[in-house]
Chain A
């Protein structure tokens, strides 16, 4: 069984420590859209990482990966999950801004050039659950003995084509993400990157927690609409592979995108697996604070999950009036300071019905 040795994240609220501290204080990272004309894409805001110029996906990824190369003793495999890849240069080329080479799309060459000990590099493009899928592959590699340590990473920055699609289907412009709220108006993209070091049981260095399992499933239902059946299968796959019962889960870090479709379907799946007797796990969510970081989202949520093992749990930013499907489900409405959290479930779902559900357990000291 694998361990999570280290996790490094970068969101619009800073590094993992800063992001969590500001989440506990109720921070919301949404700001007016930068770098892409809001009127062109009909999206007015984003949870972007600022800078002059704004960092590229590759730059954010390399920042998170750099610590993973330490003590790597030769070669340490990396599996990178991304939703949109480094697609901005291609978009800029499409509208006559600069030249392009398709080799920039995946991150392999840049990682190998800058961090040669992190190798071989595999890039998977699995929409909004990409880094959850990367985590599953990394754990399978460690569990099978293929490698003693594997890095799972995730990254995305906002892209014009995806914004245009969000803007195209929006009735009103969304100002902030409001997971599970009756008055939610949709999702906003966030910039984010993360890297997690997955190691075998005999690891002697510091450890964040026990990585019990990541369950995977595909809805095989619809290109963009989620399906409760597919999500339930991923949750049960995680519980079965991790050897834990649903009743053992203390807290869920929900996918919680604040869209019309995701939120009721996700709560329906939670109700199916955990019941609605107000006795199930606490349900938290981070996207109200840091936006939807797409390919990085599963690992950004895993970092939040790891930090809740201390008993601190941030409230769901933007949640005022829960939707009807939340009846009997313990959404975290105000920050908790002394919650008992030993086992956390992380939900990540993506376009195409690709689902990854991870279980992280506290290791008794």
Chain B
């Protein structure tokens, strides 16, 4: 079985007192104040989406505030994989670099932005900062991206490609993402740490279906289909959705709000992804 052994939600703009299935998350720092959480080092030229993801991972791992990146002389951890989901993460840089080039100023493009034109920069930045040298995947899969990331992480664990998988869902709200997607966009990151062991909170297999199927569970989280839609409180979570749902579901079973939570992700264009988070009875 696959257990959720760490989790976090990092949403700087969340209205104080917002309750997500009964859970009121602790406040989150803005990307520009991230050094309070992440320390001063390793944040140069990082995009907001990358910083949000780093904050979420830092908190899910329960690291001390202000503790910096892995030192270069420490060995890497090749048994930990990173799977990040984001559809819009680096679009602001892509557009900014394109505009500079078309304005005849290619020589003024910052070489520090080079990694940011490749959309997998978020996943590799997590790997570099924390020394996670196992498989590293960036999922940009539209509406179902977050749940697809969870499915990929579970496969990596089952295939023996890693012992632990760090799964992140993140979307940034900025001028570009508001224009190309929606001005009601989520702005934050969520992280779950998955391990193949007998834990208290178990995440079931991610299944797929062309039509939505709601199963037996105390609570259903879903965008539409009659379930509780977290996007109403958080904005359009888009590529972060599946991971945000997994965090809120785990929090609900951990606090006793529900014994099991079913998550339904996706839509008619892409089909649906479903998984259940449940509390494992004490043996």
Cβ of B78 under 8 Å from chain A: yes
Query: Is B138 in the interface zone, CB < 8 Å from A?
Result: yes
Complex Cα gap A165–B94 (Å): 10
- Assembly CA distance A144 to B161 (angstroms): 13
By the criterion CB–CB under 8 Å, are A161 and B87 in contact?
no
Interface size for B (C-beta < 8 A) is 67
What B residues does A87 contact at CB under 8 A? 94
Closest Cβ of chain B to A75, distance in Å, is: 8
- B159 near A144 (CB under 8 angstroms)? yes
* Further contacts, 13 of them, CB under 8 A, given A85-B119, A102-B91, A105-B142: A82-B140, A100-B180, A106-B140, A106-B142, A112-B270, A123-B141, A124-B139, A136-B161, A144-B155, A161-B101, A351-B124, A352-B125, A354-B137
Bound Cα distance from A161 to B104, whole angstroms: 13
Q: Is A93 an interface residue (CB 8 A)?
A: yes
Given A41-B101, A122-B139 in contact, is the A218-B127 Cβ separation under 8 Å? yes
Task: Give CA–CA (A95, B77) in the complex, Å.
Answer: 42
Known: A93-B180, A165-B97. A124 touches B109 (CB 8 A): no
Closest to B129 in A: A220
Residues in A with CB closer than 8 Å to B176 are 94
Q: How many whole Å from A305's CB to the nearest CB in chain B?
A: 21
The minimal Cβ–Cβ distance linking B157 to chain A, given in whole angstroms, is 10
B interface residue numbers (CB < 8 A to A): 76-78, 82, 87-88, 91, 93-95, 97-102, 104, 106-107, 109, 111, 113-115, 117-121, 123-125, 127-128, 130-142, 144-145, 148, 151-152, 155-156, 158-159, 161, 176-177, 180-181, 208, 210, 269-271, 273
- CB-CB nearest in chain B for A77: B208
Q: Distance in Å from the Cβ of A15 to the closest Cβ of chain B?
A: 27
Q: How far is the CB of B271 from chain A (nearest CB, A)?
A: 5
Task: Given A40-B102, A95-B102, decide whether A230 and B118 contact each other with a Cβ distance below 8 A.
Answer: no
A111 CB to closest chain B CB, in angstroms?
A: 10
Report the count of interface residues on A (CB-CB < 8 A): 68
CB of A101 within 8 A of CB of B102, answer no
B141 touches A167 (CB 8 A): no
- The residue on B at minimum CB distance from A133 is B137
Residue of B97, B98, B128, B155 near A137 (CB, 8 A) is B155
Query: How close is B154's CB to chain A, nearest CB, in angstroms?
Result: 10
